[in-house]
Amino acid sequence: MFRIPRHIGIIPDGNRRWAKENGLQKEEGYAFGLEPGRKLLQTAKKFGVQELTYYGFTVDNCKRPKEQVKAFSRACIEAVKSAEQENVKIYVVGNTKSSCFPKELLPYTKHEDFENNCHAGNPKVSISQHAKEMRVNFLINYGWEWDMKNNWASKDIPRVDMVIRWGGMCRLSGFLPIQTVYSDFYIVKDLWPDFKEEQFEDALNWYQKQDITLGG
């Protein structure tokens, strides 16, 4: 039986490196990450993945040069709007109180699905398999310290079964430290704007060979 991870975390790294390699300014890379995000969502949906969480940007990222902050904020807003077209439930998590949080995304910061809430956040408990719609979460102006200091602010996001990271680095970079305690990490060497459906399929195939012990 082909096991589909219920919830996949996506770290879409490498936009700036891609821009430089293609003779663009660093901040011009983010726009090229939009189409990959849309394609990945459609592919995940096709495979029956029930939940995706995209690493948008962090509180720390906002210390970068202004033109970069502007560019990735805009890309994230567009990513959320684009995901909305795909008939999925959207949830945005991050520090809404700082000026870095895009106001356009405030309407998405309420977690609506009570059914999914009962065991939400507990990495030991997988959620009932009969959720009707796919759920897509975005971490926007997120910070692991902010998350921890605010009584686990991200707790409506449940356990992540697999994290797929583009751009070759093998690290979490602060992505949902509690939800990922048991996650399997799959690293794609290519940069995020070079996303291909096959990379996602390779990740799913790799996932078949991982046992699930949840620390036992």
| Contact range with its own copies by CB under 8 A, out of 23-31, 103-111, 181-189, 195-203 | 181-189
Residues that bind its own copies (rule: CB under 8 A) add up to a total of 28
Q: In sequence order, what are the beta bridge partners of 89?
A: 135
Residue 55 CB partners (closer than 8 Å, separation 6+): 9, 10, 11, 12, 139, 142, 173, 175
Residues 53-92 that bind its own copies (CB under 8 A): 58, 60-61, 63-64
Residue with token string 């200091």 = 149
Using CB under 8 A, pick the residue from 91, 138, 144, 146 that binds its own copies.
144
CA distance linking residue 175 with residue 156, whole number of Å: 15
Does residue 177 bind its own copies (CB under 8 A)?
A: yes
| Contact range with its own copies by CB under 8 A, out of 36-44, 65-73, 164-172, 190-198 | 164-172
Q: Per 3-state DSSP, what percentage of the chain is helix, strand, and coil (rounded to 5)?
A: 40, 15, 45
| Contact range with its own copies by CB under 8 A, out of 27-35, 78-86, 131-139, 184-192 | 184-192
Does residue 17 bind its own copies (CB under 8 A)?
A: no
Residue with token string 């949080």 = 101
Using CB under 8 A, pick the residue from 24, 38, 187, 194 that binds its own copies.
187
Nearer to its own copies, 58 or 116 (CB): 58
Residue 10 CB partners (closer than 8 Å, separation 6+): 37, 40, 52, 53, 54, 55, 163, 164, 165
Residues 84-143 that bind its own copies (CB under 8 A): none
Interface residues with its own copies (CB under 8 A) are: 58, 60-61, 63-64, 144, 148, 169-174, 177-178, 180-187, 210, 213-216
